[in-house]
Structure 1
Amino acid sequence: MNILLISTNRNNLPVPVMPIGACIVAQAAEQAGHTVFVLDLMFSSDPAADIQAELARLQPDVVALSVRNIDNVDMRNPQFFIDGLPSIVQRVRSTTGVPIILGGAALGIMPEQILRLVPDCIAVIGDGELVFPQLLDRLSRKEDFADLPGIAWIEQGTFRLNRFLTAGFSTLCPAPDYRRWLNIPCYRAQMATVPIQTKIGCQYNCVYCTYPKIEGSSCRLKDPASIVAAIVGFATAGLRDIEIVDSVFNAPLEHAMAICSALSQVRHGARLQCLEMNPRDFDDGLLTAMEQAGFVGMGITLESASDPVLQGLRKGFSSRDVHHAAAVVARHRIPCAWVFLFGGPGETPETVRETLQFATRHIRPKDVAFFNVGLRIYPGTELETIARTQGLLSLPAQELLAPRFYLSPEVDAQWLDRELKKAMSRQMNFINMAAMGHPLLPKIHRISHALGLRPPLWKHTGTIRRVLRMMGMDI
């Protein structure tokens, strides 16, 4: 069959993200014998016209829509991305009556809510590279698919979901030919990195997290040799800036060490980074191995440096681990992005001050601290239960598609904003969600690319903020 796969994500802040899932699924469908074309709307100036033109040109038998994000998880400036989905579906339906299949991370989080927003679609839940080709096979033979694992749909007003079975999982690291499916020059001009996954799933149980729903609560590991082969292949093709996009790179630690060891034995020429690391399994041996493997940037997701908040978020580590991680980072050269999230269960003015004091004392000038305020409430998470118990949420789960946020009732939002603003005014390498979503960022990325700077650009945050302040822009 002819398949038109549309990557619907157009959010390019803080940087545009290459749609790894859409490309992997496109490659899997092609390997199953179908003719596939990917329409990436990231840089489209007229998405409606581009969709119409491709529908007319390809005459597809199936249209698949990859839906990455529901919203931007920014409590101060919320942007709801899913509200553009009905217009895309309507555009397709006005031209053709072929089946429309939805997939992507957003469907893994809230499949029923999204399917009710766009009726008469089929959703792929779970590993799309396994489920999607099986669904196409059923559709091509006009066979019933109601028993197929990993799909969801609405039938006579009732939501149906067949849980995905992990049988058939491949340990080979997927390495789609991004140059074939995407406009790589546009992504590179915006300082985008090439995404790669070394595992699927997450073993942690943070109260707000949706990874268990999207990928599962246990880790399914990719073979280190195939990971190295994928990285070498990307670098050889000129795609040298590569980001590992696992839920947590160093969990399990043995897997991360095996990957680094394998990478250190080849001349791959890649510049590697990973922005999701946990301070619990974090030591000098790991960072030394990462340095030898070719890492040029890393991120540690702390959320807080205070035990009451870490316990409230069920992060699985303590403030002692946080301070130990800072001491380890100080002994190594890899730039580090520290990620904080204020307002979780247990947050008080005292815990806010404790975290800000940690950031001020321990984050090096060449590193950066990202601050966000408020936690997006997703249905089915422990945070939803906490919010309801505390009387902060009364909406039914079916109405949580539009973003709703949790903020500890013990913290005044305006006071918290003032404290963060004061900290940012003193520390040029501190940055918040407002700065990460600033409309000037794409221009900064293009200028940086033209000057020959390489990702991660955030390591230049202090310099960029100082220059902008001299120009009268306090970002």
Structure 2
Amino acid sequence: MPPHQVLPMDILIISTNRHAFPAPVIPLGACMVADAAERAGHTVRLLDLMFVQDPLWEVEREVTVRKPDVIGLSVRNIDNNDIQQPAFFIRKLIPLMDTLRRLSDAPLVLGGAAVAVMPKEMMRHTNASYAVLGDGETLFPRLLGSIGDKETLKRIPGIAWRRGGKPVVTPPAAPSSSGACPCPDFRRWIDVDTYLSQLSTIPLQTKLGCHFKCVYCTYRKIEGEHYRLFAPGSVVEAVRKLAASGLRDIEFVDNVFNSPPGHAMAITEKLAGTHHGARLQSLELNPLYTDDALLTAMEHAGFSGIGITVESASDTVLSGLGKGFDAGDVHRAARIVRKHALPCVWIFMIGGPGETRATIRETLRFAESCVRSSDIVFFTIGIRIYPETELAEIARRQGLLSLPPEEMLEPVFYFSPGVEFSWAVNEIRQYAAHHMNCINSDSLRLPFLPVIHRWGYRCGIRPPLWRYTRFIRRGLRALGVDA
């Protein structure tokens, strides 16, 4: 056998995410990795736990019947990023890992965004055999050919493995060149129709990487700080292909869709010149690059909604968050949005460095006076602190954080010492009570949200659901529900 030939293996990939709020998220990464492993000659099965009634029973049945050679686990989030009602998802991963260890001697390989954020901690907590930290569709097939060969493992960038029982992480790979937009065969791997009935969107990326320096963010660690742009023509072809297969509600899930602005404009202009039949959205527009030309192109391209992530309308807080834009940019973006018909959701995060009662009121004044009443404002409170971020250093300097990095897997949050937490929570709740176009964290925890999704889908409503926030809230209030 040639030295680099890998014997075909039976691979089981488990998508572990079961968090369905505000809507279930289609596992793009797991589907891409499954596609890649199959192209490499392996027999692959993807087990998606999102909608199963008894995850451990499903896993036990699958492992007992298939007896896989390698088991991959895709882990999307460490926790729910909710300071008021935190949920530590990794705690629920432990029984799953224990079940797999009991049933099989197959190597257990972690992957997904959560793993890239804290790889050694994830390895220690779960007792996994290996972890993939970079692009799983590239690294996972390489890892499969090197399992058990520590000399070869050392040469694979962006993975973690065990030496003497302790996790060892190899340096990340150099950024790859730009290429074609990856678009997996979603129907091949998951029950797409059940996702669609919950008003989920089909995720698509136009690039990887992020060059912004927000103090709290982990995207640069996950994808790198240099852009890897996918060819605009290949993005358009992916949209056309998905829509032709009946998957029409597509969301661009880039960290920031309109940066670099020329790339976003090239994609939207090409989409505008194509009869693709898709309904498009992106909830990650940066106000710095939001202009008339882009929004006009997005309207012509078939966008049904956009989101602008501003976090605050206060210069003090925007500077403290390291956003790279100021309140003037936020107000300018609002004036531009008003000139267009695109529905827009404005996304804010209360409690960043420098936040005070005055800065919160400044943000609320912006939301009330500058955001159209037909558009939506969404407020979250508090910021999850991750190791090796500037926010972690800020929290330490302010005496708010004493845990060592290796003990920060379980969620710990930042909230500005310049304002009382209870006051901020009450202020946002009071604002929401008097503004029907407002969503806060309480809204995302409504237990009957999946029922609203299903009924909306049956009534012909299609994403984004947030466009109907005012009507949903008024209807719930008429039924006596405090929402």
TM over 0.5: yes
The within-5 A match list for 1:131-146 is 131-139=139-147, 144-146=152-154
The within-5 A match list for 1:324-363 is 324-363=332-371
Report the count of equivalent residues.
475
Note closer, same or farther for the CA distance 1:140–1:382 as it changes in structure 2 (3 Å cut).
Answer: closer
Q: Which amino acid aligns with 2:102?
A: S
Q: Which residue of 2 aligns with 1:218?
A: 226
Does 1:365 find its partner at 2:369?
no
Q: Which residue of 1 aligns with 2:252?
A: 244
Q: Counterparts of 1:6 and 1:140 in 2: how far apart (Å)?
A: 21
Q: Counterparts of 1:267 and 1:92 in 2: how far apart (Å)?
A: 47
Does 1:285 find its partner at 2:293?
yes
Q: Is the 8 Å Cα contact of residues 206 and 315 (structure 1) preserved in structure 2?
A: yes
The within-5 A match list for 1:69-84 is 69-84=77-92
Q: Is the 8 Å Cα contact of residues 309 and 346 (structure 2) preserved in structure 1?
A: yes
Q: Which residue of 2 aligns with 1:121?
A: 129
Q: Which residue of 2 aligns with 1:255?
A: 263
Q: Which amino acid aligns with 1:350?
A: A
Does 1:398 find its partner at 2:402?
no
The within-5 A match list for 1:387-466 is 387-466=395-474
Q: Counterparts of 1:423 and 1:170 in 2: how far apart (Å)?
A: 44
Note closer, same or farther for the CA distance 1:194–1:44 as it changes in structure 2 (3 Å cut).
Answer: same
Q: Which amino acid aligns with 2:276?
A: H
* Structure 1 residue 142 displacement after superposition: 9.6
Does 1:297 find its partner at 2:299?
no
The SS at the match of 1:280 is helix
Q: Is the 8 Å Cα contact of residues 175 and 226 (structure 2) preserved in structure 1?
A: no
* Structure 1 residue 157 displacement after superposition: 4.8
Q: Which runs of 5+ in 2 are unaligned?
A: 1-8
Q: Counterparts of 1:249 and 1:465 in 2: how far apart (Å)?
A: 29
Note closer, same or farther for the CA distance 1:120–1:186 as it changes in structure 2 (3 Å cut).
Answer: closer
Q: Which residue of 1 aligns with 2:325?
A: 317
Q: Which amino acid aligns with 1:311?
A: S
Note closer, same or farther for the CA distance 1:211–1:398 as it changes in structure 2 (3 Å cut).
Answer: same
Does 1:44 find its partner at 2:58?
no
Does 1:196 find its partner at 2:204?
yes
Q: Counterparts of 1:234 and 1:285 in 2: how far apart (Å)?
A: 26
Q: Counterparts of 1:169 and 1:18 in 2: how far apart (Å)?
A: 26
Q: Is the 8 Å Cα contact of residues 64 and 102 (structure 1) preserved in structure 2?
A: yes
Q: Which residue of 2 aligns with 1:32?
A: 40
The SS at the match of 1:333 is coil
Q: Which amino acid aligns with 1:2?
A: D
Q: Counterparts of 2:151 and 2:362 in 1: how far apart (Å)?
A: 60
Q: TM-score, normalised by structure 2?
A: 0.96
1:304-345 deviation per Cα after TM superposition (whole angstroms, max 9, x unaligned):
000000000000000000000000000001110100000000
Note closer, same or farther for the CA distance 1:22–1:170 as it changes in structure 2 (3 Å cut).
Answer: farther
Q: Which amino acid aligns with 1:185?
A: D
Q: Is the 8 Å Cα contact of residues 366 and 460 (structure 1) preserved in structure 2?
A: no
Does 1:16 find its partner at 2:60?
no
Q: Which residue of 1 aligns with 2:182?
A: 174
Q: Counterparts of 1:141 and 1:413 in 2: how far apart (Å)?
A: 52
Q: Which residue of 2 aligns with 1:383?
A: 391
Q: Which amino acid aligns with 2:405?
A: A
Does 1:106 find its partner at 2:102?
no
Q: Is the 8 Å Cα contact of residues 116 and 154 (structure 1) preserved in structure 2?
A: no
* Structure 1 residue 163 displacement after superposition: 1.7
* Structure 1 residue 139 displacement after superposition: 3.0
Does 1:469 find its partner at 2:477?
yes
Q: Which runs of 5+ in 1 are unaligned?
A: none
* Structure 1 residue 96 displacement after superposition: 1.0
The SS at the match of 2:160 is strand
Q: Which residue of 1 aligns with 2:6?
A: none
The SS at the match of 2:418 is coil
Q: Counterparts of 2:412 and 2:149 in 1: how far apart (Å)?
A: 42
* Structure 1 residue 435 displacement after superposition: 0.7
Q: Which residue of 2 aligns with 1:160?
A: 168
Note closer, same or farther for the CA distance 1:213–1:142 as it changes in structure 2 (3 Å cut).
Answer: closer
* Structure 1 residue 53 displacement after superposition: 1.0
Q: Is the 8 Å Cα contact of residues 365 and 462 (structure 1) preserved in structure 2?
A: no
Q: Counterparts of 1:154 and 1:107 in 2: how far apart (Å)?
A: 15
Q: Which amino acid aligns with 2:428?
A: L
The SS at the match of 2:131 is strand
Q: Is the 8 Å Cα contact of residues 123 and 153 (structure 1) preserved in structure 2?
A: yes
